[in-house]
Structures are given as structure tokens and as C-alpha cells.
A and B are shown apart, each in its own frame.
Chain A
Amino acid sequence: MKELALHIMDIMQNSITAGSSRISVRVKTRDYDRLLEIIVEDDGCGMDEETLKKATDPFQTSRAARIVGLGLPMFKEAAILTGGDFFLQSQLGCGTEVTAVFVNKSIDRQPIGNLGNVFFLTMLSHKDLNLSLELSSDRGVFSFCSTTFIESLAHKGKSHMDAAFHAEAFINEQVKLIFKEALPELGGGLHGIERNCKTAQRKDALRDGGNPPA
């Protein structure tokens, strides 16, 4: 996985499998943008202590179809590589909280990617799910709640799909505002790896003699 947004999507997928009705994602920078913290919290079935210990072991999975489970181990690896940290808290029957801390300036920190799109796709396929997102940095705080957002657009006669589309643009706009200077993005940045933004950025960088555009 090449983007933090994809990791978040993967962890959210775990939460959905655990039968959650509410997932909250918090992305914040701390310590004058030195650290980037991602927290994914749900109210799913949770894990007992035994499972919790094994959760970041790649050869541990709850499924019968295969014997490896790479979601949490890869997220942990991505955080540890930057010199960050990773915690997992869970209580059986109450839910799970995944916290990953990244060192922002590290060359190994993956770009944040298209966070809006992740929410868009999850909203589209799980209509009853209550998703919330909180972004915060020194530049400001942004909160988003999928159910309120969809309701308020439904008053204007927009369908669920239209609402999800609007949410994508809205979230991405806010991510840009709140994290713009905090996250010097390599390899695709906020647009993610799937657009040709990488080549465009590289061209810009070459033209300016290696200095990133101001």
C-alpha cells in the first residue's frame, strides 16, 4: 500500500467486518507538525487479550480462506519505518482503537493520499454506517459526520450517491487547507498515486532546479 488513505480504508474494512455501526477517524499533526497521528476507532466486536497480542502478527487472521492477514502488520510497519509508533487498544464487546504515529519529515512517510475518496467509497457501499472524520493541525480543525452530511443534502433533494460525491470533494478541500504546509508530499501527494500528479510534480521540481515550488 502506497498511501496512508489506503491503510485507513483497510482498517475501516476491518471495523466493518467486526460489525461496527460507528467508525471515527482522526488525523492530526502534533508537536508543531513534527508528528502525524492517525486514529481509527470503532464500536465493533473488539478483541480479547489473546487475539490482541497476535493482531499484528502477519500469520494471524480471523478468516478461514487463507492463513495470512497483512492489514494491521503493514500499517504498523509503515508507522515504525518512519520512526513512529503504533498502538492497539481493544475490549471485547466494546470496540477497537488503532493509533499510528508517523514522523512527518521522514522520507519513509507515505503520502496521505486521497482521503475523500476513501470516505466516498465507504459511504457508497455502507449506507447505514456512521462515519466521522476529524482533521486537526495548527491551522485549524475540521469535523465531518456522514449521517448529518447526507441528511442535510437529502433536504435539498440530493440522492445518497450525489451526497457521497460531494463529501469526497469537501473532505479533500479541507485536507488541503488543514495539512497543506504540514505535509510536504512526495510521490503523488493529496491527489494520491493514481493520478499523473507525480510526473507533473517531478517536472516542476526539475524546472526549478530541484527546489520544490513555493
Chain B
Amino acid sequence: MKTLEELEKIREDEKTVAGKKVISVGMATCGIAAGARPVMNSFATEIRTRGIKNAELTMMGCIGMCRLEPIVQVTDEDGTKTTYIKMTEDKAARVVKEHILGGTPVKEYTAE
């Protein structure tokens, strides 16, 4: 049995994990072939150099739109998903700047 303080601490930790933006890069065969790796590298360098704490970078499989790869999905803290298509390194840098730090999705790069 844990004490109340311990439980409260766990809840705090959970909150910080949940309060993160998740960046998932499509890294299936189609994504890799279309050049998802430099895109993911660009995200990693941006996150590291800017010291961003509220974002998690991860890989995902193919979501069935191979012709639009490299695809990047950003899930916000409240669960809204934004799908960016045909990403490049420069586009990734802009998404970090405007979406991850600024909070507004970059409309021009999305699937709509």
C-alpha cells in the first residue's frame, strides 16, 4: 500500500506524461522509401537544440496513404490529431516552431 503523498506524486507524473504532444513519423516500408528518416532526424535535432520538453517523438506504421508519405501525425495534449503529408526536413522545422512551440497547426502541410 502506498502513502497518499506517493499516490499524489504518481498522479503528478502521469499528468506530465499525458500533457505531452506526440509526434509520430510514419516509418513503414513506404515511409522509409519516401524519405521519412531525414524528416525524423530533423525533428530530433530541433527537439534537442531547442530543449523542448513537452513533445515525444515516436515511429508509427503505415496508415494506408502511401502516396502521401512521409506522413507525420501530431497528437496534441487534448487528443486532437493533425496529419502532415509529404514532409521534408524544412517543413519539419517549421512544424516544430509553429505547432509544437506555437500551438497552431501549419494548415498548408496538412492532409485537407
Q: Which residues of A contact B (CB under 8 A)?
A: 1, 6, 9-10, 13, 16-17, 63, 65-66, 69-71, 74, 117-118, 120-122, 124-126, 161, 165, 194
A124-B61 contact given A9-B32, A13-B27, A71-B29, CB 8 Å threshold: no
Interface residues of B in 32-69 (CB under 8 A from A): 32-33, 35, 37-38, 40-41, 44, 47-48, 57-59, 61-64, 66
| A-B interface contact total, Cβ < 8 Å | 60
**Are A13 and B59 neighbours in the complex by a CB distance under 8 Å?**
yes
Q: Which residues of B contact A (CB under 8 A)?
A: 27-30, 32-33, 35, 37-38, 40-41, 44, 47-48, 57-59, 61-64, 66
Collect the chain A residues with CB atoms within 8 Å of residue B48's CB.
161, 165
**Are A6 and B47 neighbours in the complex by a CB distance under 8 Å?**
no
Collect the chain A residues with CB atoms within 8 Å of residue B37's CB.
6, 9, 117-118, 121, 194
16 CB < 8 A contacts A-B: A1-B29, A13-B28, A13-B32, A13-B61, A65-B62, A66-B64, A70-B30, A117-B41, A118-B37, A121-B27, A121-B44, A122-B59, A124-B44, A124-B58, A125-B59, A194-B38
Of all chain B residues, the one with the shortest Cβ separation from A13 is B27
Expressed in whole angstroms, the Cα–Cα distance for A144 and B59 within the complex equals 22
Expressed in whole angstroms, the Cα–Cα distance for A87 and B104 within the complex equals 48
Of all chain A residues, the one with the shortest Cβ separation from B58 is A125
Which listed residue, A6, A17, A74, touches B61 by the CB 8 Å rule?
A: A17
Which listed residue, A10, A124, A125, A165, touches B29 by the CB 8 Å rule?
A: A10
A20 to chain B, nearest CB (A): 14
Expressed in whole angstroms, the Cα–Cα distance for A10 and B48 within the complex equals 25
